[in-house]
């Protein structure tokens, strides 16, 4: 096992992987509370999943 693999394994033991932050956008902008959570997660280096619902194209043939 090379040194890089050993360091990676040690890092995983010392700092377990954090769960991603899931944010759902309901309005045009993120709420202040959501933005604060996003900023904190970015500072921690966490993965952030941003869910944005968009209106679909309506079928003119319907």
Residue 46 maps to a domain: yes
The mean per-residue pLDDT over the stretch 8-35 comes to: 82
Residue 60 maps to a domain: no
CB 21, CB 45: distance < 8 Å = no
Residue 62 maps to a domain: no
Q: Which residues contact 58 (CB under 8 A, 6 or more apart)?
A: none
Please give the residue range of the domain that contains residue 34.
18-52
Residue 22 maps to a domain: yes
Residue 34 maps to a domain: yes
DSSP-derived secondary structure letter, 28: S
How many angstroms separate the CA atoms of 13 and 25, rounded? 34
Domain count, the chain: 1
pLDDT score of 16: 60
**pLDDT higher at 23 or 11:** 23
pLDDT score of 12: 74
CB 49, CB 23: distance < 8 Å = yes
Residue 40 maps to a domain: yes
pLDDT above 90 (res 10): no
Residue 23 maps to a domain: yes
């Amino acid at each position: 096992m090379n040194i890089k693999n050993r360091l990676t394994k040690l890092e995983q033991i010392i700092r377990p992987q954090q769960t991603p932050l899931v944010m759902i956008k309901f309005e045009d902008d993120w709420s202040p509370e959501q933005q604060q959570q996003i900023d904190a997660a970015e500072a921690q280096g966490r993965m952030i999943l941003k869910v944005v619902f968009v209106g679909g194209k309506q079928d003119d043939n319907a």
